[in-house]
């Protein structure tokens, strides 16, 4: 290891002063005449004397007293101004933070402010306010490194606020987490949290960190546990966890849920409702499976070939069709199947003519009435399934609402079976339009009933009847409570409160119980413990879409900055820019 030399005040007579950087490196010497910095290894009289010989005689023959006075003036004035740097004024510093915030919220790169926004702003100001005003805009610091630093500052400030809010939440928080790979094939773990803030339920982005090696349950748990330890969050503050349901997440013995239960035995672990829904609707009887396979091949034949796609698009335009483009089927996308089938059913006549002109083997399928009616039914039933899926997406969804929607859909399946068996296809609008007034064929009735029965079975398998929600949570002014006398007293007080009855009619369920935390704390906390848990990993899936926008192929080396960019882009909490600016100004003054 190289020897570190120490500074001696005797070196002042050679025209040098001590130089220390802000990274804690070894002391170096800086010339008070030309501001040149000499490294620590050359910190010896001979090297310093050699350097001073480069300056005019009047400079290096000054008395020691004159040099010491010069050193005092030099250090008081500061090194950065001597090198040509100017302290950033507060308005310019704040403008830099504001631009960085808007830039990342728009998922733009760090170089966009300097390369695009700044030239445009200067030109607009010059045209509208004049040349003098435009000159001021040139001083706003917007370089790539500056924006990166601003984003990191804002990200840390946002996280500090979120951690404080989690600690202050009157109820335990909920987590949802999921893992996916980015553009560089690196596994990224995204975690969201939900808690109570000022009497309202708040969903917040927590972090996005890379799983450097394997993606086992132990790796996921270790990453989350390290984050909790670093920010002093206790596991006891977590009441529920929602995951995508992969074996590594929900394994009974070594899965993530099992590891969390070892730390918090009473924690609630949930399998994402949307992932369960996707699994439940995958199975199809052989007849409909063949119809779906033909539809996928037809789409690939037309849309997957550039010439066929262009000709078909022009053909649909000439026929006056509402849509001219077919949609690809992507298995991993929840809504893809329903949208693809609906578009094919809409353009069935155009597809039949096109395939006939091109003498395709698939042409005979679109001339078969049973095939067209089967396609229409599939478009209808997957349209209903898509509607159910969409109704359970979004922020602030809760388990009670999702459970009610799934139970209602399961009852609709039984109703549709009876209607189809009676020859009524009114619940399937596309099938009803294609079928007209004809009598529905027995074979088609048999196939539809078989699929509905299979769907009913899989839905019951993935969504068993859930009676875990006490009735008084949803109907506090009608239901009774038998198991807790202490909470029952609060419930009685609540039921006779006319003001609360008015709020119950106007506020959503979560908002109503959050509003009762002060007046009826025990009752409200018990209700919110049931409402706060995440039912889906929708926010994580949404975050992965943002990750694809931020970490593109052009920015595939972005790793540490990805966390800060995503937090600023996705967090509902706003950074305290004025506080950050004041802190920066204070740093510059010392």
Structure tokens at 5: 């030399």
User: DSSP secondary structure string, 4-39?
Assistant: PPPP-GGGGGGTEEEE--TT----EEEETTT--EE-
Specify whether the CB–CB gap between 526 and 516 falls below 8 A: no
pLDDT score for 190: 94
pLDDT score for 21: 58
User: DSSP secondary structure string, 273-289?
Assistant: HHHHHHHHT----HHHH
Burial of 29 (0-12, 13-18, 19+ CB in 10 A): buried
The helix or strand, by DSSP H or E, that contains position 532, with its residue range, turns out to be none
pLDDT score for 343: 94
Q: How far apart are CA 250 and CA 269, in angstroms?
A: 8
The stretch 299-326 carries a mean pLDDT of 91
Tell whether the model's pLDDT for residue 87 goes beyond 60.
no
pLDDT score for 251: 64
The helix or strand, by DSSP H or E, that contains position 188, with its residue range, turns out to be strand 187-197
Tell whether the model's pLDDT for residue 85 goes beyond 70.
no
Mean pLDDT of the chain: 86
572 alpha carbon, distance to own chain's centre: 11
Q: How far apart are CA 452 and CA 458, in angstroms?
A: 10
Tell whether the model's pLDDT for residue 497 goes beyond 80.
yes
What confidence tens digit (pLDDT) does each residue in 427-478 have? 999 998 888 777 788 899 999 999 999 999 999 999 987 667 888 888 888 8
Percent of the chain scoring above 90 in pLDDT: 45
Name the pLDDT band for 253 (thresholds 50, 70, 90).
low
Q: Phi/psi of residue 125, each to 5°? A: -65, -40
Tell whether the model's pLDDT for residue 23 goes beyond 80.
no
Name the pLDDT band for 537 (thresholds 50, 70, 90).
very high
Q: How far apart are CA 525 and CA 529, in angstroms?
A: 6
Specify whether the CB–CB gap between 269 and 257 falls below 8 A: yes
Higher-scoring residue by pLDDT: 65, 464: 464
Name the pLDDT band for 29 (thresholds 50, 70, 90).
confident
Name the pLDDT band for 489 (thresholds 50, 70, 90).
confident
Name the pLDDT band for 77 (thresholds 50, 70, 90).
low
pLDDT score for 410: 93
Q: In what order do the strands lie in the sheet with 28-31?
A: 16-19, 28-31, 37-38
pLDDT score for 303: 92
Specify whether the CB–CB gap between 92 and 139 falls below 8 A: yes
Q: Kindly list the domain boundaries of the chain, sorted by start residue.
A: 9-82, 151-267+554-589, 280-462, 472-528
Tell whether the model's pLDDT for residue 22 goes beyond 60.
no
Name the pLDDT band for 69 (thresholds 50, 70, 90).
low
pLDDT score for 588: 59
pLDDT score for 66: 67
pLDDT score for 9: 78
Tell whether the model's pLDDT for residue 309 goes beyond 70.
yes
pLDDT score for 1: 44
Tell whether the model's pLDDT for residue 158 goes beyond 80.
yes
Structure tokens at 73: 């003036």
**Which residue, among 529, 538, 536, has the nearest Cα to 196 in the 3D structure?**
529
pLDDT score for 83: 46
Tell whether the model's pLDDT for residue 335 goes beyond 60.
yes
What confidence tens digit (pLDDT) does each residue in 100-124 have? 999 999 999 998 999 999 999 999 9
Q: How far apart are CA 129 and CA 127, in angstroms?
A: 6
Please, what is the end-to-end C-alpha distance for the chain in angstroms? 33
What confidence tens digit (pLDDT) does each residue in 271-284 have? 999 999 999 998 89
pLDDT score for 333: 83
pLDDT score for 57: 53
């Amino acid at each position: 290891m190289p020897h570190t030399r120490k500074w001696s005040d005797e070196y002042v007579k050679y025209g040098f002063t001590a130089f220390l950087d802000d990274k804690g490196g070894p002391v170096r010497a800086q010339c008070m005449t030309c501001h040149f910095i000499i490294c620590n290894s050359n910190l010896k009289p001979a090297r310093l004397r050699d350097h001073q010989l480069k300056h005019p005689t009047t400079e290096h023959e000054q008395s020691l007293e004159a040099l010491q006075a010069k050193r005092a003036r030099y250090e008081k004035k500061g090194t950065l101004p001597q090198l040509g740097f100017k302290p950033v004024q507060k308005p310019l510093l704040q403008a830099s933070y504001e631009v960085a915030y808007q830039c990342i919220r728009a998922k733009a790169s760090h170089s966009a402010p300097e390369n695009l926004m700044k030239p445009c702003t200067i030109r607009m100001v010059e045209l509208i306010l004049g040349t003098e005003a435009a000159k001021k805009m040139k001083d706003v610091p917007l370089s790539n490194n500056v924006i990166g630093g601003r984003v990191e500052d804002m990200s840390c400030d946002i996280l500090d606020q979120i951690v404080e809010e989690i600690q202050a939440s009157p109820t335990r928080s909920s987590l949802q987490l999921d893992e996916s790979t980015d553009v560089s094939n690196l596994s990224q773990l995204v975690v969201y949290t939900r808690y109570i803030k000022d009497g309202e339920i708040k969903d917040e982005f927590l972090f996005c960190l890379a799983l450097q090696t394997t993606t086992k349950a132990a790796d996921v748990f270790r990453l989350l546990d390290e984050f909790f330890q670093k920010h002093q969050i206790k596991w006891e503050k977590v009441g529920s966890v929602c995951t995508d349901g992969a074996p590594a997440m929900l394994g009974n013995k070594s899965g993530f849920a099992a590891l969390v239960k070892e730390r918090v035995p009473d924690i609630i672990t949930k399998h994402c409702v949307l992932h369960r829904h996707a699994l439940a609707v995958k199975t199809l009887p052989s007849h409909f499976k063949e119809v779906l396979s033909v539809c996928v091949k037809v789409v690939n034949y037309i849309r997957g070939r550039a010439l066929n796609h262009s000709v078909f698009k022009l053909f649909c335009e000439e026929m006056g069709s509402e849509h001219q483009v077919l949609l690809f089927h992507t298995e991993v996308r929840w809504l893809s199947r329903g949208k693809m089938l609906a578009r094919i059913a809409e353009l069935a006549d155009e597809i039949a003519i096109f395939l006939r002109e091109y003498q395709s083997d698939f042409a005979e399928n679109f001339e078969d009435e049973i095939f067209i009616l089967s396609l229409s039914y599939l478009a209808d039933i997957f349209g209903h399934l898509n509607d159910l899926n969409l109704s359970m997406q979004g922020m602030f969804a809760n388990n009670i609402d999702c459970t009610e929607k799934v139970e209602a859909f399961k009852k609709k399946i039984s109703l549709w079976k009876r209607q189809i068996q009676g020859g009524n296809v009114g619940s399937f609008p596309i099938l009803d339009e294609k079928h007209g007034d004809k009598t529905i064929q027995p074979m088609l009735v048999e196939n539809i009933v078989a699929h509905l029965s299979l769907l009913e079975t899989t839905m019951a398998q993935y969504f068993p009847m859930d009676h875990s929600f006490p009735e008084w949570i949803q109907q506090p002014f009608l239901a009774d409570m038998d198991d807790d006398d202490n909470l029952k007293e609060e419930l009685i007080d609540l039921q006779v409160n006319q003001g609360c009855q008015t709020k119950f009619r106007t506020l959503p369920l979560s908002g109503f119980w959050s509003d009762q935390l002060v007046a009826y704390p025990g009752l409200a906390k018990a209700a919110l413990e049931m409402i706060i848990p995440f039912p889906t990993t929708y926010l994580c899936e949404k975050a992965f879409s943002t990750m694809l926008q931020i970490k593109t192929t052009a920015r595939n080396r972005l790793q540490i900055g990805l966390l800060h960019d995503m937090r600023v882009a996705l967090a509902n909490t706003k950074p305290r820019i004025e506080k950050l600016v004041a802190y920066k100004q204070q740093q510059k003054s010392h």
